[in-house]
Amino acid sequence: MKNRILIWLSAFALLVLVGVQYIFITQTYHTKQEQFDSKFGTLVRQGMIAFNEYDVHFGLDSVLFLLDNLALDYLYAAPDTTSSPPAVEFHKILRNFREPEIFLREYIRRAGEEPAFTYYLQINELYLTDIGSEQQVYSDSLLLPIAPEGALLAGSYEQVRNFFRISYDIYISFNNRSKMILNEMWLILSLAILTLLFVFVIFFLTLRNMLVQTRLSEMKTDFINNMTHELKTPLSTISVASSALGDRTIIQQEEKVEELSGLIKRQNKHLSELIDRILDIHIWERDEVRIKITDNQTEKWMRQLVNGFKLEQGNKAPSIDLEFNLESKTHRFDEVHMSTVMNNLLSNAVKYGHPPVRINVVLDETAEHLVVTVSDNGPGISREEQKHIFEKFYRGRESKKRVIKGLGLGLYYVRQIIEAHQGTISLHSSHGKGSAFTIKIPK
């Protein structure tokens, strides 16, 4: 609960941090944009003023003369270009007058700046006029191409001639505006991104660590509970049996005494096995699994093992199908440890399966490996659990729900033994569809 609150608080703090960084970066970007617009706005306005002084109006005058004739045509004759409205023609002619644009490029280059820009001429109003009459043929509510947002106003002009009156603006849009601004901000940007990445990585590592620790501590608590339970059961049986042995009437019945002492012996053996298992953990943890590899008659060994297992299970014995696809008679492995492996796999199939339990054991051989597959018709293991079942102390959800005895060590031992043989163990299973464990041991 405390952990969960901490996680939510940290996630919230992270979100706030991202928000603050975002606001900081966008504000810096806007400030830089304003600085850019003010610097380059002044530059292009000065450029256009310089152009007007330089041009002495010859170039522009001849264009305006041409437009005057065109206006006259629109007023009184049927001009050749009747297909386009007057404003379109005016725009085309004025826009094709390229001197101001060329002048500006040079002006900006001389100022030591990058002259990559697009030049826009935007008509605001156009009137065809004659003495005493005026006819508006365009206003900016009708749309000719207009300058994009962020373009800088270089100058506003009004020209009055005999047959027309026009007002237009010249805009300059720097193609690399955003790139130039971002270039100036690269240090701030990369620091902000790096800080965020760093904080995110630390957050996720801490979170993962915390979850692993929580899971480990839960597993350890479960283990201690299970162990206590497992140790207590034989102890109480021994206690009851030994008190019974002290009873005079029972001492006189030889059969009863034998039965009770047998019971005590068995429980004692079970206890010492349990204690051995628990003590083993330390040895196994230090990677001290010592195996003694010998030649074994595999088929014979497996048949004996399965028969022994069935006998031990008594009336709970499952049906076990054996299949041998072996080329050689003998294989090299540690017989004692491999018997533990097989017993663990078989007893898990019985423990977790629902009767009638059916088990298939198949032995195959490849050029390099002895392959043993143990499959069952049990409840199967979900994908999520498959990631953990070979871990020490791990117990599946089903085993806890159905209160199935165990310490979560069986498959951990199995993996240790197989790895000590330089082999591998894998599992194919899905929830509700049985499990198949495949062991591969190098020959």
- Taking the complex as a whole, how short is the minimal distance between the CB of residue 393 and ligand ADP, in angstroms? 8
Q: Which residue has the tokens 């196994």?
A: 284
Tell me the number of residues near ligand ADP by CB under 6 A: 22
Full DSSP string of 11-36: HHHHHHHHHHHHHHHHHHHHHHHHHH
Closer to ligand ADP by Cβ: residue 166 or 349: 349
Rounded CA-CA distance 50/427 in Å is 82
67 binds ligand ADP (CB under 6 A): no
- Taking the complex as a whole, how short is the minimal distance between the CB of residue 425 and ligand ADP, in angstroms? 12
Closer to ligand ADP by Cβ: residue 316 or 443: 316
Closer to ligand ADP by Cβ: residue 265 or 433: 433
Q: How many Å separate Cα 386 from the centre of its chain?
A: 20
Query: How does strand 152-160 pair with strand 117-130?
Result: unpaired
Rounded CA-CA distance 187/200 in Å is 20
Tell me the two tokens of residue 174. Answer: 């720097």
Closer to ligand ADP by Cβ: residue 210 or 227: 227
**Distances, alpha carbon 107 to alpha carbons 100, 237, 359, 420, in Å:** 10, 104, 89, 80
Give the relative orientation of helices 177-245 and 254-285 as an angle to the nearest 10 degrees.
Answer: 160
Specify the length of the chain in residues: 443
The footprint of ligand ADP on residues 350-379 (CB under 6 A) is: 352, 376, 378-379
**Is residue 47 helix, strand or coil?**
helix
Closer to ligand ADP by Cβ: residue 107 or 394: 394
415 binds ligand ADP (CB under 6 A): no
Rounded CA-CA distance 84/20 in Å is 53
The footprint of ligand ADP on residues 385-404 (CB under 6 A) is: 389, 394-396, 398-399
Closer to ligand ADP by Cβ: residue 234 or 378: 378
Which of 348, 373, 377, 416 is in the footprint of ligand ADP by CB under 6 A? 348
Rounded CA-CA distance 266/199 in Å is 59
Closer to ligand ADP by Cβ: residue 267 or 429: 429
Residue 391 DSSP class? S
Full DSSP string of 108-150: HHHTTS---EEEEEEEEEEEEEETTEEEEEEETTS----PPTT
- Taking the complex as a whole, how short is the minimal distance between the CB of residue 403 and ligand ADP, in angstroms? 11
Tell me the two tokens of residue 225. Answer: 């509970």
381 binds ligand ADP (CB under 6 A): yes
At 334, the amino acid letter reads: D
- Taking the complex as a whole, how short is the minimal distance between the CB of residue 405 and ligand ADP, in angstroms? 7
Nearest to 325, CA basis, from 287, 367, 356, 371 = 371
Rounded CA-CA distance 36/180 in Å is 9
Closer to ligand ADP by Cβ: residue 189 or 274: 274
Closer to ligand ADP by Cβ: residue 172 or 389: 389
Q: Which residue is nearest to ligand ADP (CB)?
A: 396
- Taking the complex as a whole, how short is the minimal distance between the CB of residue 408 and ligand ADP, in angstroms? 4
Which of 346, 349, 361, 425 is in the footprint of ligand ADP by CB under 6 A? 349
Question: Binding segment for ligand ADP among 87-95, 260-268, 321-329, 406-414 (CB under 6 A)?
Answer: 406-414
Nearest to 304, CA basis, from 345, 360, 342 = 342
**Please, is 151 exposed, middle or buried when counting C-beta atoms within 10 Å of its C-beta (0-12, 13-18, 19+)?**
buried
Which of 267, 298, 377, 435 is in the footprint of ligand ADP by CB under 6 A? 435
- Taking the complex as a whole, how short is the minimal distance between the CB of residue 352 and ligand ADP, in angstroms? 4
Closer to ligand ADP by Cβ: residue 87 or 341: 341
- Taking the complex as a whole, how short is the minimal distance between the CB of residue 435 and ligand ADP, in angstroms? 4
Q: Which residue has the tokens 């796999």?
A: 345
Closer to ligand ADP by Cβ: residue 86 or 406: 406
318 binds ligand ADP (CB under 6 A): no
407 binds ligand ADP (CB under 6 A): yes
**Is residue 222 helix, strand or coil?**
helix
- Taking the complex as a whole, how short is the minimal distance between the CB of residue 226 and ligand ADP, in angstroms? 8
241 and 263 Cβ atoms separated by less than 8 Å: yes
Question: Binding segment for ligand ADP among 61-69, 74-82, 330-338, 343-351 (CB under 6 A)?
Answer: 343-351
Residue 56 DSSP class? T
Closer to ligand ADP by Cβ: residue 57 or 232: 232
Which of 412, 415, 416, 417 is in the footprint of ligand ADP by CB under 6 A? 412
Chain residues in the site for ligand ADP (CB under 6 A): 344, 348-349, 352, 376, 378-379, 381, 389, 394-396, 398-399, 406-412, 435
